[in-house]
Amino acid sequence: MECKILNNGVRMPLLGFGVFQIPDAEECEQAVFEALQAGYRMIDTASVYGNEEAVGKVIVRSGLPREEVFVTTKAWISEMGYEQTLSAFERSLVRLGLDYIDLYLIHMPFGDCYGAWRAMEDLYNSGRVRAIGVCNFEPDRLLDLCHNVRIVPAVNQIEMHPFTQQTEAMKIMSSLHIQPEAWAPFAEGKNGLFTDKRLVGIGQKYGKTAAQVVLRWHFQRGVVSIPKSVRKERIIENFAVFDFSLSQEDMELIARMDTGASTILDLHDPKEVERLYGIS
């Protein structure tokens, strides 16, 4: 598995498996098991997903050495604040059944993120977390956080796919030595991504699907990706992306697909913020 070296020296797999929107324990366990069998060595979950326990059970069941599986989880808005985040971490650790977490993230840039970050810095310094980072922090929020903390985030997990390429955000993250990670790397199938003629056409040159082309595009931009599927054949297919490379022409064609705007989660929309605060 190819890896990225985070700003604290920790190795993070370039490809992981996401479990967002798989709340059913049995289905989640089966999907994670299939992913580990296929070769994935990074699993991304969150307290708000309601499936940390299922993820932890499969990691134990897999028989893989703990150090071979990179586990990410996140603290939700209601878990922001120094004491609240420390408590949230303990709950996640118990549900996962682990002694430490590889990457712990602030899930949304709302609530007392600064108190939460101080807690995460202390967890990191105690060795119970190998790396800490954030999700959904746009450049202004990310810069503000970095100017007010002791430890700069190692990762920023954001919406990123061919229709939302985050070019300017990528530049800011690069200047801060923060690793970009794409959630919804397939845009949740919006805008007909899986049947897009441009992506399908590129794939035909390499005997690959549009989805495989998109993952390869992410990797060649230096972006970690966490595709999700509950179908065994798709889980295996998404892992088969390390045996080809896109040409510069391919990369430029995909670059022209960018809309310059979010297509899934607009955190500048007050209605969206209200919706997020309503999730427990």
Are 51 and 45 in contact by the 8 Å Cβ rule? The answer is yes
Euclidean distance between CA atoms 55 and 61, whole angstroms: 10
206 among known catalytic residues: no
Amino acid at 279: I
3-state class (DSSP) for residue 129: strand
3-state class (DSSP) for residue 65: coil
3-state class (DSSP) for residue 164: strand
Structure tokens given for 32: 């994670």
Phi/psi of residue 195, nearest 5 degrees: -120, 10
- The number of residues making up the chain comes to 280
Q: Which of 264, 221, 269, 279 is nearest to 246 (CA)?
A: 221
Amino acid at 134: V
Are 132 and 156 in contact by the 8 Å Cβ rule? The answer is no
Give the active site residue among 49, 100, 104, 124: 49
Strand-strand pairing, 3-5 and 11-13: antiparallel
- Residues with a catalytic annotation lie at 49
